[in-house]
Amino acid sequence: MLGGMTDRAPVLYLSHGAPPLADDATWKAELASWSTQLARPKQILMVSAHWEAAPIAVSASARKVPLLYDFWGFPQKYYEVTYDAPTAPDLAADVDRLLGGVVQRDESRGLDHGAYVPLVEMYPDADIPVLQLSMPTLEPRALFEVGRALAPLRDAGTMIVGSGFTTHNLRWFNPGAPADAPAPAASVEFDHWAAEAMATQDVDALLDTDHRAPAARIAHPRTEHWAPLYVALGAAYAGGSLASTSVVDGFWYGLSKRSWQFAN
């Protein structure tokens, strides 16, 4: 249960990559290096772009279940990846309490690729308990409030991770081109705006991305890959401050892989 640790765990928002992330040496190295700079968390709460469910729910915590290979048409090797992390039943209980006792338990759901793909690179030993939380809505302020409610988890050593993509328009994805080919202008413009809004801690602008960001609807035809950021913002927002570091930047097949760490 909560308590027992004095160091406040950080909050991350990371661009998680599709299963072929495992073939991208640059991105693998970036995530691996990032994890070495973090204090080891007691447990991890993942909010992935790939789980929308209302009422809000958590993944299996009473027993281990297989990963959820929630993608189609990839080579067989991507369906053979395993990540046998411990379950986190106490974390599930704390999440439920902090969110008012309304959290559903989906004991059949394993971690989806938005959760396990980056964790394989960051914590390959799979020895840290992991729990996944669904997004009950894509509405920014509602998700921000979910994050604020969950912020006390950090005082018990729980690292909260929003896993999405800073830009996510799959029409740009062309595996026949180099992964580092020049990104479309809309992706570059949105990425630049996001970096500036985060650097200036402009929470109001970030929560109104659809209306404030250039090319918002092009960079995110649907906002599920940006939405995990709102949970991260809420969990990180403290005393009016939203100090962050842009840890990963650049583009992958036209998509911005910018990722942030919040430590306040």
Q: Does residue 5 form part of some domain?
A: no
Range of the domain at 87: 11-262
**Region at 166 (left for phi over 0; alpha for psi -120 to 50; beta for the rest):** alpha
The model's pLDDT over 25-62, given as tens digits with 9 standing for 90+, comes to 999 999 999 999 999 999 999 999 999 999 999 999 99
Note the pLDDT of residue 232.
98
Per the structure, the count of domains in the chain is: 1
Instruction: Tell me whether residue 23 is in a domain.
Output: yes
pLDDT of 38: 96
In a domain, 167, yes or no: yes
Q: Tell me, yes or no, whether 223 lies in a domain.
A: yes
Distance of CA 164 to the CA centre of its chain: 5
Q: In the prediction, which pLDDT does 7 show?
A: 74
Determine, yes or no, domain membership for 112: yes
Give which of 127, 24, 114, 54 is closest to 84, Cα–Cα.
127
Residue spans of the chain under pLDDT 50 = 1-6
Residue 215's domain is classified under what CATH number? 3.40.830.10
pLDDT in the model for residue 238: 81
Query: What's residue 1's pLDDT?
Result: 42
Q: Is residue 227 part of a domain?
A: yes
* pLDDT at residue 226 in the model: 98
Q: Looking at the whole model, is its pTM more than 0.85? A: yes
The one-letter amino acid code at 256 reads: S
Does the residue 3 lie in any domain? Answer: no
Q: Does some domain include residue 69? A: yes
